[in-house]
Amino acid sequence: MNKLRTAGATLVVAAVTMGLAACAPGKKANADKGGSNSGSSSSQTLTIASTTDVVNLNPLVGNSRTDDWVTNLMYPRLLTINADGSKQPYLAKEWGYTDGGKTGYFVLRSDFKWSDGTPVTAKDVAYTLNTIKTQNPKGGVVNGFMTNMISAKAVSDTRVEISMKRPDSILVPEVGFWTVIVPAEQFGQHNPVDQFTNTSDWISAGPYKLTSIAKGQSYTLTRVTPYPMAPNGTPTVDKVVFKIYPDVNTEILALEKGDVDVIANALPPAQVSVLQKQSGITVEKVPGLGFTHMTYNMKRKPLDNVLVRQALAHAVDYDAIRKVAVQGQAISANSSPITPSLAEYADPSAKEYTFDPNLSKQLLQQAGVSNLKLNMIYSMQDPVVAAWASIVKSDAAKAGITINLEGMDRNTYLAKTTNGDYDIYAGSFAIMDEPVSNMALQYLPDGAINYSQVNDPKLTSLIEQAQATTDKTQIKSLVQQASTYVRDNVIDNIMYVQNLYVAHSSKWTGFVVKPSELLSILDPQSLANVTKTG
Amino acid sequence: MPPFAAFLLKRLGRALLTMWFAITVTFLLLRLLPGDPAVAVASTNMDASMRHELLKQYGLTQPLFTQYVKYLGQLLHGNLGQSFTQSQPVTDVLMSRLPWTLLLTGSALILTVLVGVPLGVIAATHAGRTVDRLVQTSGVIGQSLFVPSVGIFLLFVLGLQLKLLPIGGAYDENAYGLGWYASVLQHLVLPCVSLVLVSLGSYVLTMRATLIESLGEEYCLLAMSKGLSDRRVIWKHALRNALLPTTTLLGLQLGFMVGGAVLTETIFAYPGVGRAIYEAVTQLDYPVLQGAFVLLAGTVVVVNMITDLAYGLLDARVRTA
């Protein structure tokens, strides 16, 4: 019996050891193997924490935020953005329209190379754009901007031209910013492209390249040279490691202990001031480029009545929401869909709706509406919105309006949003970088995010005119007219622009801060320039 | 047919039926969830036609019964399907995670038994005394513990303040050979202890109660009157019978631990199946969820079957019943 027990125990230990051996990494040399690593003598590793795991490393597919951060370091965008949403050169040094706005173009830099030594050319760009247009990889964001695109063509090694059905001021800037360029040689071997998992043999034209993966735990990238946007063409860090901590509290403990150098995801508002007080930790403010809003379902009565919508808009204490729920980490959007973040387009005369319950009551009386009862949906996964929903309810009660709060899980919320099954929708958009594009998506009758269900001929005409011209002055004028119309008619109630905060060890300096959580301090140009000082 | 073979066949039949039931319920429950996978993975730019195309790609536009029959057919061929979001076979997605969950829950289960049995025995043999009261109080407190609170507390004290153990992960990526196995053990300590702390209480209290009952049985009194030592009566006679309900509890606790692993793996950034489930729920990745539940249900069913067989070996009345 004892022998049997010993044999049993030995078997269990052997099984566990073998099971683990299957998970064990290979030899050290394998993990460090990188295509074009420089032989730097100083070895610096920047470890970045994220709460979301990598889902798919194919950058053409709709991804998690961490997928974006990792793939951004390997596949360049044509354009990048500034804090005010204005487009800046990246792989493309020039862009614009010819042929009366019916042809878009990008002129590329000639010094970008893939890590296998081949140059990044217009063929890669044309392949990427045409693949997105024709295959519409699942969940990808770019195809939505390509309605008027016919095809893209590499007219030389450094020039790509996009032929269009009609002039479209959205196409070039949006495609330029949102598209990451992939190597045609490698991705072209996979059809459909969204089945390509890209889990090995990576080729990078960014500052770093994936070299090893510990699924669910960490993703290691090593330096690639030359990278034209790094000092002397050499990114400053040898290795960048993304580590996954699904729980934000664990993630913060890891930063405090020094296990990680950066927290990539935006900190919960309550943690910002706590970490700001800690020595050895620097909290960086990342300008928001999106906004948080409430929309009123205009297909439902009495929300189709502008007076009712105005009554609702005046029954919210926006200042209290920003101070209490967002802990002072947001600025007023002046109730305009063109927020102050988009400085080039914003209308300085726009003013926020006042909090005036008596005015709300009067407006309801004028509309002939009494005993108004509405439901408001929001996602419980958005803790900030969940925090202010009760403020909205109690403020509305002061104006005699009953709001039934319906906080729900994200998937239910998305389903209700898609089906237009709500009176009031509360939520946020992360990046609203291009005014015309955003307005088209939000306020055209067939717009993908037309949550107010608006179908207003005047507004549609203003947006379509702005979309059809490439004259910047005209675009600005039309955008401002449209935003004023949206504000005055409460087609959307834009409440605030939330600034985001990320944290890093004070030992690291040189981060370049870009707007939004997507770019934040993890933009390739930032991570190609950071240095460890401590 | 020999009684034990019949007993075995009966248990096997029950296990298969349980698996079919688990598979069917999982399949239907997932499709009852609000929302659809296309919306969960989509960008905000997706219009209705794109959404329909995506659902078609996922095979979700077919009638429910067709989907179900197809799924059962796939399973019979050992195919768990293809992840919606990761474009990889579910088997690949889960097999890289399963060893970690088995290591975590297996270690926790073994540790629970190794600590729980002696504690239960000590409490039972000192019934009514201070030691017993202490064990009972700790047991009740243990039952009311919640993995996230215990986890964060342990991470804060042992990980951050005392720097004795790592914060998160399953191993050190820079460790190789034996050092790698050592790092695996180091990373295992905190999640395992958390799971043990929250599951130990019920085990100890059940052990204590059943052992006190056994010690009062006539066969124990007879053994004592025959002059056998207390130690021999407890460990050789009373404990064998007291182990029956605790063995059942152990089987049930595996299910509890597997469920608890979702939270434990999230708090401790442990890359197991629990984490994969958590991620798949947010993306409504049905194939991964179905696959994970099949794997976990299979594990629980197999362990419960082993428990039943052990029960049969421990008590002859069970296999002839």
CA–CA separation, A462 vs A475, rounded Å? 10
Task: List the 27-66 stretch of B: residues with Cβ below 8 A of A.
Answer: 33-36, 39-47, 50-51, 53-54, 57
The rounded percent of chain A whose pLDDT value lies above 90 is: 74
Partners of A441 on chain B (C-beta within 8 Å) are 44-45
**At which residue do the structure tokens 């999640």 appear?**
B191
Is the separation of the CB atoms in A39 and A54 below 8 Å?
no
**Between chains, do B46 and A139 touch, taking CB under 8 Å as contact?**
yes
A410 backbone dihedrals φ, ψ, rounded to 5°: -60, -40
Task: List the 79-108 stretch of B: residues with Cβ below 8 A of A.
Answer: 85-88, 96-97, 99-100, 102-103, 106
Distances (CA, A) of B236 to A341, B113, B228: 77, 17, 10
Residue A61 sits at the chain B interface (C-beta within 8 Å) = yes
CA–CA separation, A460 vs B232, rounded Å? 89
Give the closest of B34, B106, B163 to A412, CB-based: B34
**Between chains, do A217 and B269 touch, taking CB under 8 Å as contact?**
yes
Does residue A356 surpass a pLDDT of 70? yes
Residue B217 sits at the chain A interface (C-beta within 8 Å) = no
CA–CA separation, A178 vs A73, rounded Å? 14
For residue A467, the one-letter residue type is: Q
Largest separation between any pair of C-alpha atoms in chain A = 91
**Between chains, do B41 and A197 touch, taking CB under 8 Å as contact?**
no
Q: Which residue of B has its CA nearest to A142?
A: B45
Task: List the 255-294 stretch of A: residues with Cβ below 8 A of B.
Answer: 256-257, 259
Q: How many CB pairs under 8 A join A and B?
A: 167
**Between chains, do A22 and B99 touch, taking CB under 8 Å as contact?**
yes
Give the closest of A141, A214, A245 to B168, CB-based: A245
Higher pLDDT, A31 or A69: A69
Instruction: List, for residues A206-232, the tens digit of each pLDDT value.
Output: 999 999 999 889 999 999 999 999 989
**Between chains, do A20 and B283 touch, taking CB under 8 Å as contact?**
no
**Between chains, do A141 and B43 touch, taking CB under 8 Å as contact?**
yes
Residue B166 sits at the chain A interface (C-beta within 8 Å) = yes
The confidence score (pLDDT) of residue B42 equals 60
**At which residue do the structure tokens 């996978």 appear?**
B37
Mean pLDDT of chain B: 85
Provide the CA A254 distance to its chain's centre, in angstroms.
25
CA–CA separation, B320 vs B3, rounded Å? 6
**Between chains, do A23 and B100 touch, taking CB under 8 Å as contact?**
yes
The confidence score (pLDDT) of residue B68 equals 92
Instruction: List, for residues B27-47, the tens digit of each pLDDT value.
Output: 998 888 777 777 666 655 566
pLDDT band per the 50, 70, 90 thresholds, residue A23? low
Residue among A306, A327, A428 nearest A369 (CA): A306
Stretch (H or E) spanning A405: strand A402-408
- Token pair listed for A121: 């050319």
Is the separation of the CB atoms in B26 and B19 below 8 Å?
no
Mean pLDDT of chain A: 90
Is the separation of the CB atoms in A114 and A204 below 8 Å?
yes
Give the closest of A139, A259, A408 to B167, CB-based: A259
**Between chains, do A441 and B40 touch, taking CB under 8 Å as contact?**
no
CB atoms under 10 Å from CB of A22, counted, come to: 10
pLDDT band per the 50, 70, 90 thresholds, residue A343? confident
**Between chains, do A56 and B170 touch, taking CB under 8 Å as contact?**
no
The confidence score (pLDDT) of residue A89 equals 96
Task: List the 243-262 stretch of A: residues with Cβ below 8 A of B.
Answer: 243-247, 249-250, 253-254, 256-257, 259
Radius of gyration of chain B (CA): 24
Mean pLDDT calculated for residue range A409-413? 87
Residue ranges in chain B modelled with pLDDT below 70: 39-47, 259, 314, 316-321
Q: Which residue of A has its CA nearest to B53?
A: A138
Q: Which residue of B has its CA nearest to A57?
A: B86
Residue A196 sits at the chain B interface (C-beta within 8 Å) = yes
Residue B235 sits at the chain A interface (C-beta within 8 Å) = no
The confidence score (pLDDT) of residue B37 equals 76
**At which residue do the structure tokens 């834009």 appear?**
A494
The rounded percent of chain A whose pLDDT value lies above 70 is: 92
Does residue A18 surpass a pLDDT of 70? no
